[in-house]
Amino acid sequence: MTQRTYHAYTTSTPGAATRTDTWTYGGLDGNVLTASTINGVTTNYSYPHYGMPSNWTGNRALTWINGIDLASIGGTTFTYDGEGQRVSKTTGATTTSYTYEGDQLVMQTTGNTSLFSL
């Protein structure tokens, strides 16, 4: 999909477009998202390696561990275990921890609040 148009259905202007969102693709095969405009806000993406974005407009730099796991985006950092499962996310002074049984996420804890998956 490269474009989505929203329409208002009112008696005064039936079917008038109220908003149009667009996506621009590039790369060798044309399957790499290079820009998007959603609700009038344009975001550009760059991909230095492995197809993982390194920058979004709006000062959202992304860093990757071995080109696979997201290490940081903006002011948020992530850590992973030896299996590549995310075990923590830290934004400012707030850390969220993730607990797994095998490959199943069973608990997410932020401060004194825990969410359990059954």
Does some domain include residue 92? yes
More confident: 56 or 45: 45
Does some domain include residue 117? yes
Q: Same domain for 72 and 42?
A: no
Tokens coding 98 = 């993730």
Separation CA 85–CA 80 (nearest Å): 5
pLDDT at 20 over 70: yes
Helices and strands in the chain: count of H runs, count of E runs: 0, 12
More confident: 27 or 84: 84
CA dihedral 39, 92, 47, 69 (to 10 degrees): -120
Does some domain include residue 15? yes
pLDDT given at position 81: 92
Does some domain include residue 33? yes
Does some domain include residue 76? yes
Q: Same domain for 70 and 117?
A: yes
User: What rounded mean pLDDT belongs to the chain?
Assistant: 76
Total tally of structural domains belonging to the chain: 2
Q: What is the pTM of this model?
A: 0.55
| Full domain range(s) for residue 39 | 1-46
